[in-house]
Structure 1
Amino acid sequence: MKQSDFLKVVLPFKDKVFRLAKRLLVSTEEAEDATQELYFKLWKNKQKLSEYKNVEAFAMTMTKNYCFDRLKSKQASNLTLIHSNYKEKDTSLDKKVEHNDSVEKVHRLIEDLPEQQKIIIQLRDIEQYSFDEIAKMVDMKPTAIRVALSRARKTIREALIKQHNYGVS
């Protein structure tokens, strides 16, 4: 496989790999390192890529596993998530502050979800993968993914309603 062919295969999902890594790891720097490590591994094994039906799903699975390994390592004992990928122009300051506050609340609620639900909500609601694609990545049945996603969304919805009704942050 030539470099140009490799890039045509793997570059379209680079941003998705980065966003998943950022969701699971500490910071932009950690996510960039994870993305770079994944692409290095893919390049090293570029001759085997044609064996996979869905290279993107394979890459996302590799990213998830790499991030979990990083989180389990001793180096990662002090990692926390910092997530801020929302940017908007031409909005009043109070609307921006209100929106950023809401986005931050949702991100905190996602962080409090069980690990499996956190990954599923990231892959489905943010990355827009199909249930079948997610099933391959996380090694679960699509029906189990639907149940986990439903529970995750319900947990987030109930927490937001509770916060809104009581004014609690």
Structure 2
Amino acid sequence: MSRNTISGVNAGSMADIAFLLLIFFLVTTTFEEDEGIKSVIPKPCPVGVDCSSDVAKKNIFTIQLNRNNELMANNETITIEELRENVKAFIDNNGDESCDYCNGVKKETLSDNPQKAIISIHTDREASYDRYIGVQNELTGAYYELREELSKTKFNKSVDNLTEEELKILQDSYPFRISEADVK
């Protein structure tokens, strides 16, 4: 008496187990949130109000990044390493001598004061993302260094140890004014 039996593993419930494992891992996994570049987008101009303003040309620091990743600042070719110092000199110039905390050289071709200084960036669509981020890092670094210097002279503290009120004073002293549109 021989019987033909086929032995095997019952896999009927394997799909249920895989589904439960999938749900478990989806529920328990945390995803890191990408930070990206923090920017504040201006509110739309109310209807019927003229929101345009004239800005003196000397108060605009123009940065151009072309498709070959070459950098120009105020129509002069520079390296990315030179950008931070050029931006700091522009912002901290104190051309109209209204800034009592500025350390600039009061050059007529640079900004009047930090409140009027605008950084205008023009980037070619074919420029590399890494180079664009490098420009953004240098701009952020320039503002951070200016605020750090003011913090040490005004509060005798590092920026990292300031209260919210003191930090607001620094931000108002050196406002981060960057435009990626044409400034007129």
Normalised by the shorter chain, which TM-score bucket?
A: under 0.3
TM-score normalised by length of structure 1: 0.28
TM-score normalised by length of structure 2: 0.26
| Greater share of residues in strand | 2
| Greater share of residues in helix | 1
